[in-house]
Structure 1
Amino acid sequence: MEPGGRTARGPAGLRVALAGLTTRGRSFLAAGIAAGVCAYVLGQEDLLRVGLLLAALPLLCAVAVHRTRHRVTSSRRLSPARVPAAAEARVRLRVDNVSRMPTGLLMLQDRVPYVLGPRPRFVLDRIEPGGRREVSYRVRSDLRGRYPLGPLELRLADPFGMCELTRSFAAHDTLTVVPRVEPLPPVRLGGGTQGYGDGRRRSMAVAGEDDVLPRGYRYGDDLRRVHWRSTARHGELMVRREEQPRRSRCTVLLDTRRIAYRGAGPGSAFEWSVSGAASVLTHMLERGFSVRLLTDTGSQEPGEGTASFGGAGAGTAEAAGLLMDTLAVIGHSDGAGLSRARDALRQGGEGLLVAFLGALDEEQARIVARMRHRAGGAVAFVPEDADDADAGGAGGADDPGDPGGGGRVGPPVGGAPAPSAAERVLREAGWTVVRAPRGVAMATVWERAERERVGAAGGGDR
């Protein structure tokens, strides 16, 4: 029997059935052959009958399993198909018997990656013709990523356990484990407090009548909006377009350089940065911002160029889903610098810039500092665990206040954090730099960024 409705026939199928003999079946067959040989040597007819019975039983079971013509179908449903790290998802399996004969004992096993837990196994009793059975199990992963589920394996066994055949369904599904998203409090970091803030600019030009972009009249349009000059020019009734507010923009820069972080696993500095980027992107989308994700390699999501911002206009849920899918599989890059990200920002770097950085030397800090030129505000979050990573590049002279050496952004050993040379470069360029200790919540450092920005502004800092 093959799941999906096709039945194996012929000598090849019988050989498969014989190969499916279990340990019990092989033991019975070996015992029967041994008894037959002994009966022949000793001349014992009763022993020969016993040997024939022992040898025939597993062979008859194999033939019976081979000739069983069940047709079963299966389906799998994930709830949900996209789940945050450390959260559970439920997988529901459904098996339908579409043949005219009842099935025997069925054993199901679904293939899942080891990070999701052990392989689930189920035993299904007899399924009547046209009947169905549903089972479910849960999966959970602390590591983000995309994990295949399936194919489902079905094992058919005889009542004596002599023969067991395994068939696999072709269908499989994918579970996407996205970074954990923390709710963030509303703060003002520059670039507008809301997606449609008081200081918004209009997407339509208002310099004069010649700049008006009309459209054709639609039933229900206010006649006071009729643009007579365009009506005379086009020969049909034209009305002025309503002015639409331009959405505030936010770019989230994620430093993925391998040499900028140390450690691995769910509690590493890099995973904290990925989770922080996901939290900021979701928070800004919910507040009406147009957002995009930018990495040190220059890649952008959800698109390329200045039109790469996604927001409610393109579907907030779709934009958030695309960004989360990207962050679910993002990994370390082999790059040594952030110049590609700087070049990408030159093509459209207006609005708020939020950066999640690893360890920086002074040279890379100067590159990051120049990214703010067109940004309405710039905030950099640096996990403290990234300080011991080798940031590479041409580092500056050692800074007496930087115990990490090389002028990198990072905390000193013990005592209050002292600004490093790289941090001072960012602050002098107008950046708000916030260090994130191990285990701190993103909401905490998010509020700290606002306090530091206000403090820097009160102290005459840019």
Structure 2
Amino acid sequence: MSTGAVRQARPGQPEGERGGLRTALAGLTTRGRSFLAAGVAAAVCAYVLGQSDLLRVGLLLAVLPLMCATVLYRTRYRVAGSRRLSPARVPAGSEARVHLRVDNVSRLPTGLLMLQDRVPYVLGPRPRFVLDRMEAGGRREVSYRVRSDLRGRYSLGPLQLRLADPFGMCELTQSFSAHDTLTVVPRVEALPPVRLTGEATGYGEGRQRTLALAGEDDVIPRGYRYGDDLRRVHWRSTARYGELMVRREEQPQRSRCTVLLDTRGGAFRGAGPDSAFEWAVAGTASVLVHMLERGFSVRLLTDTGSSVPGEGADGFAGASQESADAAGLMMDTLAVVGHSDGTGLSRAYDVLRGGNEGLLVAFFGDLDEEQAAVAARMRRRSGAAVAFLLDSGAWAREPYEGPAPVGRSEERVRMLHEAGWTAVSVPRGATLGDMWRQADRERGGVVAGGTAAESGRSPGTGASGWEARR
């Protein structure tokens, strides 16, 4: 279980401190103010009546809350607090535990401590704890749980301590400046393994290697570098270029997958964890994780043209050892992604048309005829393309209103089918696993039918491009 880093708040002056005396007096409780008022009143009466004994009583009543406030004000900076998240990144709907630790760094014991941590309302009620008297150099540890059904990045803190004297005359609040961030990422659904069209271009059973030497006359040499094996020197190229040239090593290439998320504000209606847009975000996260687990080089692309992780070749994730970092970066991006102000998909199309992007998986909202045409052109001939279309109008309908009328979603699915896409319409409440299997069946039917038409065999006997692994 991963944990977040502990942030230690150093004892010091709290934020917004203006003056010691004013702060100390502002911390007087009702009991302390009553004692102070009674003492002042007794002192005035003693002065008017000439009663010295009453003056002593009045001074005692007035000085006691002031002394408590002064002592408490001086000792409150000798308490340190820290916070630890376990874990610091959780899926929506899952719980995270927050561990709080309070240390008494002074040589004097503390009184009753009331501990409170500030958390956003969406994470639950504000946690409050009462800590008993803490000995010199002692510490106390408490914990609480937070949970959110809404993805996002939430700030926890600052931690607040309310210190009280033994007589209950004064209570002062100490705020620590340290904050921690809890990242709630979209839910990830495990997807069934299927063999995607185009997989043979780079990974798994069809891992392809770029040969540097396919024959004596087909050599792609490079300049000699310090440390290269001299047995790899290609003497014919060396004689041609006048410098040492070596044969390139075989470079394994990873299959590429681009996951496109439509974030246009006008393409989705409704809000909340059960909305169409949240389904699309969760589906995007699930596909990204699924493809990374299968060894693909992946990237996240939005309708704005922004690409994540944005490093490596053409913005794809790098080597396999960087997959975890790339997954974390893309999940953090999806945790805070929102609706864009754009109205079209042209920027994403400009990014995709630059070359062969391998497999393309897209999550679209409502598409008008123009944007459906743009989406149809995104499909490259050498790679497979899978589209999940969410009819946000149907998703926004109440359950008791009955089935949604047939809209333009089916027409858009037909347009994408004609362009070579494997497109499925996502009804309200559907799971991504079911939609993933449906796309597998539709892709298999198209490929098998095409194979049967070309070879004269009956449909269903051909090998599906989305054939499930056995």
Query: What is the TM-score when the length of structure 2 is the normalising length?
Result: 0.82
> Separation in 1 of the partners of 2:75 and 2:204?
70
* Matching residue's letter, 1:372: R
CA contact (8 A) 1:372 1:378 kept: yes
Return the offset for 1:166: 1.3
Aligned to 1:162: 169
2:436 matches 1:430: no
> Separation in 2 of the partners of 1:437 and 1:404?
12
CA contact (8 A) 2:356 2:382 kept: yes
CA contact (8 A) 1:187 1:193 kept: no
- Segment drifting more, 228-237 vs 312-321: 228-237
Q: Percent identity?
A: 72
CA contact (8 A) 1:358 1:387 kept: no
Aligned to 1:136: 143
Q: Secondary structure at the match of 1:68?
A: helix
- Segment drifting more, 244-253 vs 301-310: 301-310
Aligned to 2:220: 211
Aligned to 2:71: 64
Write the mapping of 1:76-95 to structure 2, written as runs, cut at 5 A: 76-95=83-102
Aligned to 2:456: none
Return the offset for 1:22: 1.8
Q: Secondary structure at the match of 1:107?
A: strand
Q: Secondary structure at the match of 1:372?
A: coil
CA contact (8 A) 1:296 1:340 kept: yes
- Segment drifting more, 259-268 vs 191-200: 191-200
Aligned to 1:244: 251
Aligned to 1:293: 300
CA contact (8 A) 1:251 1:349 kept: no
* Matching residue's letter, 1:450: D
Q: Deviations over 1:29-86 (max 9, x none)?
A: 3444556667788998887766555444322321221343752322221111111111
> Separation in 2 of the partners of 1:85 and 1:139?
11
Unaligned runs of 5+ in 1: 390-401, 410-419
CA contact (8 A) 2:111 2:134 kept: yes
- Segment drifting more, 361-370 vs 191-200: 191-200
1:444–1:134 Cα change, 3 Å: same
Query: What RMSD over aligned residues (CA atoms) do the two structures have, in Å?
Result: 3.3
Q: Secondary structure at the match of 2:199?
A: coil
> Separation in 2 of the partners of 1:234 and 1:120?
73
Aligned to 2:362: 355
> Separation in 2 of the partners of 1:193 and 1:117?
48
Q: Secondary structure at the match of 2:384?
A: strand
Q: Secondary structure at the match of 2:178?
A: coil
Aligned to 2:152: 145
Q: Deviations over 1:277-297 (max 9, x none)?
A: 000000001101010111111
Q: Deviations over 1:258-287 (max 9, x none)?
A: 111111111111001000000000000110
Aligned to 1:340: 347
Return the offset for 1:128: 2.7
Aligned to 2:196: 189
2:345 matches 1:328: no
- Segment drifting more, 39-48 vs 167-176: 39-48
Return the offset for 1:188: 2.5
CA contact (8 A) 2:212 2:219 kept: no
Aligned to 2:458: none
CA contact (8 A) 1:378 1:430 kept: yes
> Separation in 2 of the partners of 1:278 and 1:180?
7
CA contact (8 A) 1:191 1:249 kept: no
CA contact (8 A) 1:385 1:437 kept: no
> Separation in 1 of the partners of 2:136 and 2:242?
71
1:163–1:194 Cα change, 3 Å: farther
> Separation in 1 of the partners of 2:433 and 2:224?
45
Return the offset for 1:381: 0.8
Aligned length: 433
CA contact (8 A) 2:186 2:334 kept: yes
* Matching residue's letter, 2:416: L
> Separation in 2 of the partners of 1:185 and 1:37?
85
Return the offset for 1:421: 2.2
> Separation in 2 of the partners of 1:375 and 1:21?
76
Q: Secondary structure at the match of 1:66?
A: helix
Query: What is the TM-score when the length of structure 1 is the normalising length?
Result: 0.83
* Matching residue's letter, 2:169: M
Return the offset for 1:26: 2.3
Write the mapping of 1:25-36 to structure 2, written as runs, cut at 5 A: 25-33=32-40
1:388–1:319 Cα change, 3 Å: closer
1:456 is aligned, of 405, 421, 446, to: 446
Return the offset for 1:144: 0.7
Aligned to 1:4: 10
1:343–1:159 Cα change, 3 Å: same
Q: Secondary structure at the match of 2:102?
A: strand
Q: Deviations over 1:196-234 (max 9, x none)?
A: 145454344445443134654759x6x865544467789
Q: Secondary structure at the match of 2:140?
A: strand
Q: Secondary structure at the match of 2:136?
A: coil
1:215–1:112 Cα change, 3 Å: farther
> Separation in 2 of the partners of 1:126 and 1:60?
20
CA contact (8 A) 1:338 1:364 kept: yes
Return the offset for 1:155: 1.8
1:427–1:67 Cα change, 3 Å: closer
1:442–1:344 Cα change, 3 Å: same
Unaligned runs of 5+ in 2: 1-8, 397-403, 454-464, 466-470
> Separation in 2 of the partners of 1:6 and 1:209?
71
CA contact (8 A) 2:307 2:315 kept: yes
Q: Deviations over 1:300-342 (max 9, x none)?
A: 1111795201144461100100110110110001111111111
Q: Secondary structure at the match of 1:376?
A: coil
CA contact (8 A) 1:72 1:95 kept: yes
CA contact (8 A) 1:153 1:167 kept: yes
Aligned to 1:413: none
